[in-house]
Amino acid sequence: MADAVGNKASKDYGVGVPPPDSGGFPIKGAGHLDWGMQHRLAQMFSPASGNTVMLAFDHGYIMGPTSGLERLDLVIPPLAPYVNVLMGTRGAFKTCVPPTVQKPICLRSTYDTSVLFEDMTVGGGIAIDMENAVAMDAVAVAVQTFIGSAGEARSLELLARTVDAGTKAGIPTLGVVAVGKDMARTEQFFLLATRMLAENGAHVVKSYYCDGFEHVTHACPVPIVIAGGKKLPESEALTMAYRAINEGARGVDMGRNIFQADDPNAMAQAVGKVVHEAFTDKRAYEFYLDVKS
Ligand code: R5P
C-alpha cells in the first residue's frame, strides 16, 4: 500500500498542456465511454463551449426550505431556460418541475443526514436506484462523498456501486466533494478529494473553488464543476466563476448564488455569460445589472 509518509510533494501539474485526446469526443476523460454515456454527457456540456451551467436546488434534502427555495415550483421552472442542467432530488422534480420543462436533469441519488444531526459527515445511503433514475430520464446521478470524514469509506462504496450500475444503464455519475464544517478548503484537500472521486469512477466531479485551483483541475482526469457555496454579493460570485473557468473548471453546479440573488434569472444568465461566452467577471456583472429588473 502506498505510504503517505515520506512521499515526494506533487508539483508538476502540466498546466497549459492539454489533456489526453478523448478520441474526438470533447469531454475530458470520456473518450472511452459507451455511446449512451457520451450522449448523456453531451447533453450536460454545451457542444459550443464545452462547459455547463448546472442549477443546484437539492438543498432541501438536508436543510429543508432554504431561503430562495421556499417554493420550488415557483422558482425553478422560470430559471430552466438559462441553464444547461437542473440538479435536484427525485421528490423535487416529481412535485415541482413539470416534465414539459425540456431540460436535462441530474438526480441526487444519495440521501444524507439533516442539518440537525451532530455529524453530517457520517453520510447516508441510496435515495434512488439506477432503474428509477432511468425512469426519471436522468442524464446523470450525483453521489455525495465525505473524504477525510467519518463517512469516507461508506460514501466511496456508494460512489463505486453507483458507477457500476450507471455504467450498465449508460448514466454518468457526478461525484460531489462535501467539506465538513471543521475542514479547511485547501488546495491539498481538493487535490486529494477530486482525484479520489475520479479514480473511483466519477465521470464529473463537483468541488469548491480554492487557491491553487488550477492544480486541482489539471490533476483531475475528469471535468470539474464548482459549487457556489454560501451567498456572496453577485459581483463576487461572478468573479469566483470567472476564476474557476479560467483555471480549468468546465462549469458550475451553483445554487444559492443564483436562486438567492436579487434577481435569480439575471444572475443565471450572467453566470452563463462567464461559463459559455468568455465574459470577464466585470463584464458579466455589468450584464447582470443591465438585465436585472
Ligand atoms: C451540495 O451538497 C449541495 O446540496 C448543493 O448542491 C451544493 O452545495 C451547490 O449549491 P450551492 O452553490 O448553494 O453551494
Tens digits of per-residue pLDDT, 62-81? Answer: 899 999 999 999 999 999 99
pTM of the model: 0.96
Residue 33 CA to ligand 1 center (angstroms) comes to: 27
Given pLDDT bands bounded at 50, 70 and 90, which one contains residue 143? very high
Distance (Å, rounded) from C-alpha 165 to C-alpha 5? 35
Tens digits of per-residue pLDDT, 151-161? Answer: 999 999 999 99
What domains can be seen in the chain, in order of their start residue?
A: 35-292 (3.20.20.70)
Ligand 1 pocket residues where CB is under 6 Å:
56, 58-59, 144, 176, 178, 227-229, 253-257
**Predicted local confidence at residue 180, as pLDDT:** 80
| Residue where the block lists cell 472511452 | 32
Mean pLDDT score, 190-218: 98
Mean pLDDT score, 15-28: 89
The 3-state DSSP class for residue 140 equals strand
The 3-state DSSP class for residue 111 equals strand
| Residue minimizing CA distance to atom 4 of ligand 1 | 59
Residue 13 CA to ligand 1 center (angstroms) comes to: 28
Residue 8 CA to ligand 1 center (angstroms) comes to: 34
Give 46 or 1, the one with higher predicted confidence: 46
20 φ/ψ angles, rounded to the nearest 5 degrees = -60, 150
Q: Residue 207 pLDDT > 70, yes or no?
A: yes
Q: Residue 6 pLDDT > 90, yes or no?
A: no
Given pLDDT bands bounded at 50, 70 and 90, which one contains residue 113? confident
The x, y and z cell numbers of residue 72, run together, are 420550488
Ligand 1 atom with the smallest distance to the CA of 58 is: 4
Contact of 207 with 56, CB cutoff 8 Å: no
Given pLDDT bands bounded at 50, 70 and 90, which one contains residue 9? confident
Q: Which residues pair with residue 53 across a beta bridge?
A: 252
Given pLDDT bands bounded at 50, 70 and 90, which one contains residue 112? confident
Residue 88 CA to ligand 1 center (angstroms) comes to: 10
* Amino acid at residue number 18: P
Provide the total of helices (H) and of strands (E) in the chain, helices listed first: 12, 10
- Among 86, 176, 209, 234, say which to mutate for ligand 1: greatest number of ligand atoms within 8 Å of CB: 176
- Among 59, 62, 224, 232, say which to mutate for ligand 1: greatest number of ligand atoms within 8 Å of CB: 59
Contact of 140 with 44, CB cutoff 8 Å: yes
- Among 53, 55, 58, say which to mutate for ligand 1: greatest number of ligand atoms within 8 Å of CB: 58
Residue 256 CA to ligand 1 center (angstroms) comes to: 7
DSSP codes of every residue in 15-60: TTSPPPP-TT-SSTT-TTS-HHHHHHHHHHS-TTTS-EEEEE--TH
